């Protein structure tokens, strides 16, 4: 066989392998769906056998109707509103609470900020006895206990930081039922390592006082999950020791594999499963072109924050490296934004301090690496900016998902430039499917037409839902044209081929530099950025591929010819680039949306008031005093009596903070300031935001005419 022939066959085999891999993926997806259906059917069968009725297909709701009426309905409504200050349930909350109250084990998969905590905190108050909550992080536990204390709910934690006095109180409450203890938070280590604790818990159970067990962030059980914690593996003991106590496992993301794992590890094979959508309708997704000049990127980030969030609303900026984190934080600071950094190299105390300042609204922006992850409980994060791209769609979903946990409109902005791809790829190439995952998010970033949301639905294998104009590609009609770059692609491939023939390798940037020289000779008009885009496009299309080499200090990513290179060389493949004609000015467009959303003076006053009250009430979080949603409601409806206030924020908060809130509202009314008219028209901030975006074209016109004026 001639070398040429071998190469020819090798190419077609490689192409065939790619096709087979595609088919395997489809089959795996199909298998996943079948597994899901299998466990559903098993559950239906079990319930039917338990109730003695024949197994009828397609009638699970007849067996378990969790939205019906239950004896605790009115008590639950009373506690929800008057203690938690929550005016209505969000999707699935009521059903989950009903299942727990019916003493069933429950698995809850609900997006970040969906309101999972209420699903165990409310039943904990409705039931007699103590609810045990296992949570993986001290900071998460502290936040929760503090928030509950602010609501007057007797919640405690038993961790390494618990004082001897509190420990004594907790053990007494468990053993003898003395003292007020409704919710007890522990880390998983307590269950697996403290015999003393387990023996007290057993006593509590024997006396019939263990009301429920909740395992928060339950994906930590599974090695397939992203935050595996070895001690979570031992939590199955809870069901074994306390079989009659309902176990509630909660997590924000879990693939079918992780779900199956959790059910097995926690011994909750008969659990009722509630899976909510991954969609976060209040999040607006934007991908922005990232300048190759570092300072320009920071200028743009700073401008975005200052113009869109003049009232110092909280945000996060994610960076690729620790060094970059410090640099970006310092540069934002220089531009007048209160920002600080957070990464794994800092000692625990320093990190905790930054986190606390941010949680208390004393710091506007945290600039973090991925280390700033699980444990962020702040509900009113208005923006998450990615200074560099994440390593996968899953990571991006989680990181961006830290915005808007309170359900109010928030923005997720990702700054993308092709040159960031090799930085990430040289970190992830050795991970299982690392490159594939990275290229998925690169595809997401490169697309200028496809709905950003649809990429999430596809990734999480969920049916498509309407985006409602809540992403840049759906909201802004910018002119995009497909430019045929087959000629340039061919040139690029042959250039690389020549280099390889001479045993030389090029990084992406070197390749682009060399292309620039060639292009000049040919008179091609592709800009440097477009050339970088083309390299990435060709990598995604398998015409080029990345290769990696370790040096003593780093891993270098090189670009070489890929399995389909020949097709380009032979002119059998057309390559097109999506290029915007006429720069679409995102910041400008966003400004016009934001202008209608800027806070009224009363909102600002109430925001200041909640900060003040949070300090007076023992340094609790401002959002524990009043949520952003409650501030919106109060500033639009302006109650003027305690009774009216009670009807809006519940008895507990009205009693605790009512007089000060009314004082502030009256002061404001006396000053003759107008109300928040936009809000009066439509209190649903979220839908207002969407409406504005739907009328984007009109907005853009108004914006430009104002700018001209
Ligand atoms: N029905 C509701 N109406 C309004 N706000 C709610 C409701 N339920 C929960 N919230 C608020 O939403 C925010 C997020 O809730 P929670 O912390 O329970 O989310 P979560 O699902 O546990 O998210 P994560 O996965 O990020 O931990 C909190 O501020 C909470 O008070
Ligand atoms: Mg939670």
633 ligand 1 Cβ < 6 A: no
Tell me how far apart the alpha carbons of residues 571 and 23 are, in angstroms, rounded to a whole number: 27
- Ligand in closest contact with the CA of 89: 1
Is the pLDDT confidence value at 593 over 60?
no
Q: Whose CA is nearest to atom 26 of ligand 1?
A: 112
How far does the chain reach from its first CA to its final CA, in angstroms?
Answer: 74
- The H or E element containing residue 259 is helix 256-265
| pLDDT tens per residue across span 79-117 | 999 999 999 999 999 999 999 999 999 999 999 889 999
pLDDT value at residue 600: 67
Ligand 1 atom at minimal distance to the Cα of residue 627: 29
Q: Cβ contacts of residue 340 below 8 Å, gap of 6+?
A: 329, 333, 354, 357, 358, 363, 365, 366, 367
Mean pLDDT over 571-592 rounds to 65
CA angle 308, 312, 315 (to 5 degrees): 75
Of 223 and 589, the one with more pLDDT: 223
Q: How far is the CA of 217 from the centre of ligand 2 (A)?
A: 7
Tell me how far apart the alpha carbons of residues 565 and 575 are, in angstroms, rounded to a whole number: 12
pTM of the prediction? 0.79
* Strands in 503-554 per DSSP E: 544-550
Which two tokens mark 646? Answer: 């009670």
pLDDT band at residue 586 using 50, 70 and 90 as cut-offs: very low
Mean pLDDT over 63-91 rounds to 93
Mean pLDDT rounded to a whole number for the chain: 85
Is the pLDDT confidence value at 589 over 90?
no
Tell me how far apart the alpha carbons of residues 403 and 409 are, in angstroms, rounded to a whole number: 9
Q: How far is the CA of 90 from the centre of ligand 1 (A)?
A: 9
Q: Whose CA is nearest to atom 9 of ligand 1?
A: 115
Mutate to test the pocket of ligand 1, among 117, 122, 216 (most ligand atoms within 8 A of CB): 117
pLDDT value at residue 377: 83
402 ligand 1 Cβ < 6 A: no
Is the pLDDT confidence value at 37 over 70?
yes
pLDDT value at residue 523: 66
Phi, psi of 280 (to 5 degrees): -120, 85
Within 13 Å of residue 415, how many CA atoms lie on the same side as its CB?
24
Q: Using the structure block, give the residue that is written with the tokens 């509950």.
A: 148
Phi, psi of 460 (to 5 degrees): -95, 15
Mean pLDDT over 118-140 rounds to 95
pLDDT value at residue 707: 29
561 ligand 1 Cβ < 6 A: no
Ligand 1 atom at minimal distance to the Cα of residue 379: 29
Are residues 183 and 154 in contact, defined by beta-carbon separation less than 8 angstroms? yes
- Which one, of 671, 669, 639, lies nearest residue 657 by Cα? 639
Highest mean pLDDT among 32-41, 429-438, 485-494, 514-523: 485-494
pLDDT value at residue 696: 37
Is the pLDDT confidence value at 452 over 60?
yes
Of 391 and 618, the one with more pLDDT: 391
Mean pLDDT over 160-172 rounds to 93
Q: Kindly write down the DSSP assignment for every residue of 195-243, as one continuous string.
A: HHHHHHHHHHHHTT-EEEEEETTGGGG-TTSSS--GGGGGGHHHHHH-T
289 ligand 1 Cβ < 6 A: no
Q: Name the percent of the chain lying above pLDDT 90.
A: 57
Are residues 472 and 452 in contact, defined by beta-carbon separation less than 8 angstroms? yes
Ligand 1 atom at minimal distance to the Cα of residue 402: 26
Q: How far is the CA of 114 from the centre of ligand 1 (A)?
A: 5
pLDDT band at residue 686 using 50, 70 and 90 as cut-offs: very low
Of 627 and 30, the one with more pLDDT: 627
Tell me how far apart the alpha carbons of residues 496 and 301 are, in angstroms, rounded to a whole number: 36
The conformational region for residue 591 under phi > 0 = left, psi -120 to 50 = alpha, else beta, is alpha
246 ligand 1 Cβ < 6 A: no
Q: How far is the CA of 115 from the centre of ligand 2 (A)?
A: 7
405 ligand 1 Cβ < 6 A: yes
Which domains occur in the chain, in start order? 72-275 (3.40.50.300), 283-468 (3.40.50.300), 481-580 (1.10.10.10), 602-666 (1.10.150)
Using DSSP bridges, classify how beta strands 183-186 and 247-251 pair: parallel, antiparallel or unpaired: unpaired
Within 13 Å of residue 274, how many CA atoms lie on the same side as its CB?
29
- Which one, of 315, 304, 299, 294, lies nearest residue 366 by Cα? 315
Least confident of 338-347, 522-531, 678-687: 678-687
Q: How far is the CA of 135 from the centre of ligand 2 (A)?
A: 9
pLDDT band at residue 271 using 50, 70 and 90 as cut-offs: very high
564 ligand 1 Cβ < 6 A: no
| pLDDT tens per residue across span 310-361 | 999 999 999 999 999 999 999 999 999 999 999 988 988 898 899 989 999 9
Which two tokens mark 603? Answer: 């909102």
Q: How far is the CA of 505 from the centre of ligand 2 (A)?
A: 48
Tell me how far apart the alpha carbons of residues 614 and 621 are, in angstroms, rounded to a whole number: 6
Phi, psi of 180 (to 5 degrees): -90, 110
Least confident of 255-259, 300-304, 402-406, 626-630: 255-259
Tell me how far apart the alpha carbons of residues 35 and 432 are, in angstroms, rounded to a whole number: 23
Mean pLDDT over 234-257 rounds to 91
Q: Name the percent of the chain lying above pLDDT 70.
A: 87
Q: How far is the CA of 250 from the centre of ligand 2 (A)?
A: 8
Q: Cβ contacts of residue 347 below 8 Å, gap of 6+?
A: none
Ligand 1 atom at minimal distance to the Cα of residue 251: 25
Q: How far is the CA of 8 from the centre of ligand 2 (A)?
A: 54
The 3-state DSSP class for residue 173 equals: helix
Within 13 Å of residue 272, how many CA atoms lie on the same side as its CB?
22
| Partner residues linked to 339 by β-bridges | 365
pLDDT value at residue 54: 53
Count Cβ atoms below 10 Å from residue 212 Cβ, excluding itself. 25
pLDDT value at residue 13: 83
Mean pLDDT over 398-418 rounds to 94
CA angle 324, 327, 331 (to 5 degrees): 135
pLDDT value at residue 582: 59
pLDDT band at residue 186 using 50, 70 and 90 as cut-offs: very high
Mutate to test the pocket of ligand 1, among 113, 375, 621 (most ligand atoms within 8 A of CB): 113
Count Cβ atoms below 10 Å from residue 226 Cβ, excluding itself. 15
219 ligand 1 Cβ < 6 A: no
pLDDT value at residue 226: 66
Mean pLDDT over 218-239 rounds to 85
Within 13 Å of residue 310, how many CA atoms lie on the same side as its CB?
11
Q: How far is the CA of 84 from the centre of ligand 1 (A)?
A: 11
Least confident of 50-64, 185-199, 444-458: 50-64
The 3-state DSSP class for residue 56 equals: coil
- The H or E element containing residue 658 is helix 651-670
114 ligand 1 Cβ < 6 A: yes
Q: Cβ contacts of residue 456 below 8 Å, gap of 6+?
A: 278, 279, 393, 397, 462
Please tell me what DSSP assigns to residue 584.
-
pLDDT value at residue 698: 31
Q: Cβ contacts of residue 380 below 8 Å, gap of 6+?
A: 313, 314, 405, 406, 408, 623, 627, 628
Q: Whose CA is nearest to atom 8 of ligand 1?
A: 115
Using DSSP bridges, classify how beta strands 480-484 and 410-416 pair: parallel, antiparallel or unpaired: unpaired
| pLDDT tens per residue across span 493-519 | 999 999 999 999 999 999 999 888 877
113 ligand 1 Cβ < 6 A: yes
Q: How far is the CA of 678 from the centre of ligand 2 (A)?
A: 32
Q: How far is the CA of 149 from the centre of ligand 1 (A)?
A: 17
- The H or E element containing residue 120 is helix 116-126
Mean pLDDT over 570-580 rounds to 87
Q: Whose CA is nearest to atom 27 of ligand 1?
A: 112
pLDDT value at residue 47: 66
Are residues 404 and 383 in contact, defined by beta-carbon separation less than 8 angstroms? no
| Partner residues linked to 577 by β-bridges | 483
86 ligand 1 Cβ < 6 A: yes
pLDDT value at residue 163: 93
Tell me how far apart the alpha carbons of residues 521 and 368 are, in angstroms, rounded to a whole number: 44
Is the pLDDT confidence value at 295 over 90?
yes
pLDDT value at residue 477: 66
401 ligand 1 Cβ < 6 A: no
Tell me how far apart the alpha carbons of residues 236 and 177 are, in angstroms, rounded to a whole number: 25
Q: How far is the CA of 256 from the centre of ligand 2 (A)?
A: 20
Least confident of 253-267, 269-283, 529-543: 253-267
Q: How far is the CA of 311 from the centre of ligand 2 (A)?
A: 27
Tell me how far apart the alpha carbons of residues 272 and 104 are, in angstroms, rounded to a whole number: 7
444 ligand 1 Cβ < 6 A: no
Are residues 510 and 420 in contact, defined by beta-carbon separation less than 8 angstroms? no
Mutate to test the pocket of ligand 1, among 95, 118, 137 (most ligand atoms within 8 A of CB): 118
Ligand 1 atom at minimal distance to the Cα of residue 376: 26
Q: How far is the CA of 546 from the centre of ligand 2 (A)?
A: 39
Tell me how far apart the alpha carbons of residues 38 and 709 are, in angstroms, rounded to a whole number: 64
Are residues 216 and 116 in contact, defined by beta-carbon separation less than 8 angstroms? yes
Q: Whose CA is nearest to atom 4 of ligand 1?
A: 86
Burial 519-548 (b: 16+ CB within 10 A, else e): beeeebebeebbbbbbbbbbbbebbbbbee
Highest mean pLDDT among 23-32, 429-438, 675-684: 429-438
Burial of 584 (0-12, 13-18, 19+ CB in 10 A): middle
622 ligand 1 Cβ < 6 A: no
């Amino acid at each position: 066989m001639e070398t040429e022939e071998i190469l020819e066959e090798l190419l077609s085999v490689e192409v065939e392998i790619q096709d087979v891999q595609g088919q395997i993926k489809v089959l795996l997806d199909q298998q996943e769906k079948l597994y899901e259906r299998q466990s559903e059917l098993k559950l239906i069968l079990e319930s039917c056998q338990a109730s003695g009725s024949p197994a009828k297909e397609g009638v699970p709701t007849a067996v378990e109707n969790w939205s019906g009426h239950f004896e605790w309905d009115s008590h639950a409504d009373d506690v929800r509103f008057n203690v938690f200050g929550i005016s209505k349930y969000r999707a699935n909350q009521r059903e989950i609470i009903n299942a727990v109250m019916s003493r069933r084990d429950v698995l809850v998969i609900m997006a970040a900020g969906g309101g999972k905590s209420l699903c165990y905190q409310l039943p904990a108050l409705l039931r007699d006895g103590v609810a045990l909550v296992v949570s993986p992080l001290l900071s998460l536990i502290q936040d929760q206990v503090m928030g509950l204390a602010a609501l007057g709910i007797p919640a405690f934690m038993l961790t390494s930081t618990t004082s001897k006095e509190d420990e004594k109180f907790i053990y007494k409450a468990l053993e003898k039922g003395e003292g007020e203890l409704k919710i007890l938070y522990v880390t998983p280590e307590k269950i697996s390592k403290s015999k003393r604790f387990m023996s007290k818990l057993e006593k509590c159970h024997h006396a019939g006082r263990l009301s429920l067990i909740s395992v928060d962030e339950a994906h930590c059980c599974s090695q397939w999950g992203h935050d595996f914690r070895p001690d979570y593996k031992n939590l199955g003991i809870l069901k074994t020791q306390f079989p009659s106590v309902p176990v509630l496992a909660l997590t924000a993301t879990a693939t079918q594999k992780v779900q199956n794992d959790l059910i097995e590890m926690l011994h909750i094979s008969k659990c009722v499963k509630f899976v909510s959508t991954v969609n976060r309708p209040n999040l607006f997704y934007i991908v922005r072109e990232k300048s190759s000049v570092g300072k320009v990127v920071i200028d743009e980030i700073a401008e975005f924050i200052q113009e869109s969030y003049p009232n110092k609303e909280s945000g996060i900026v994610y960076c690729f490296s620790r060094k970059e984190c410090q640099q970006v934080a310092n540069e934002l600071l220089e531009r007048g934004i209160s920002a600080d950094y957070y990464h794994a190299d800092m000692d625990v105390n320093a990190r905790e301090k930054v986190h606390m300042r941010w949680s208390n609204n004393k710091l506007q922006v945290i600039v973090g690496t991925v280390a700033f992850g699980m444990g962020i409980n702040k509900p009113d994060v208005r923006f998450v900016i990615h200074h560099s791209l994440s390593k996968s769609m899953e990571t991006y979903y989680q990181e961006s998902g830290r915005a808007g946990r309170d359900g109010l409109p928030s923005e997720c902005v990702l700054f993308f430039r092709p040159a960031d791809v090799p930085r990430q790829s040289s970190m992830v190439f050795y991970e299982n499917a690392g490159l594939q995952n990275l290229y998925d998010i690169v595809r997401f970033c490169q697309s200028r037409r496809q709905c950003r949301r649809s990429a999430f639905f596809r990734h999480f294998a969920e049916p498509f839902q309407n985006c409602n104009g809540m992403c840049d590609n759906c909201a802004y009609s910018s002119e995009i044209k497909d430019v045929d770059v087959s000629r340039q692609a061919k040139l690029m491939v042959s250039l690389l081929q020549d280099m390889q023939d001479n045993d030389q390798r090029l990084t992406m940037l070197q390749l682009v530099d060399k292309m620039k020289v060639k292009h000049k000779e040919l008179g091609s008009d592709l800009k440097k950025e477009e050339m970088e885009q083309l390299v990435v496009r060709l990598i995604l299309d398998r015409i080029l591929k990345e290769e990696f080499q370790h040096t003593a200090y780093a891993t270098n990513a090189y670009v070489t010819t890929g399995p389909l290179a020949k097709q380009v060389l032979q002119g059998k493949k057309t390559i097109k680039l999506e290029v915007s004609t006429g720069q679409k000015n995102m910041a400008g467009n966003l400004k016009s949306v934001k202008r209608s959303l800027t806070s009224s003076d009363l909102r600002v006053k109430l925001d200041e008031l909640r900060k003040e009250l949070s300090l007076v009430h023992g340094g609790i979080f401002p959002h524990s005093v009043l949520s952003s949603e409650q501030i919106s409601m109060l500033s639009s409806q302006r109650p003027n009596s305690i009774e009216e206030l009670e009807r809006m924020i519940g008895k507990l908060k009205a009693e605790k903070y009512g007089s000060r809130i009314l004082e502030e509202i009256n002061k404001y009314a006396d000053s003759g300031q107008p109300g928040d008219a936009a809000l009066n028209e439509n209190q649903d901030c979220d839908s207002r935001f969407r409406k504005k975006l739907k009328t984007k074209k009109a907005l853009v016109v108004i914006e430009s005419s104002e700018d001209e004026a």
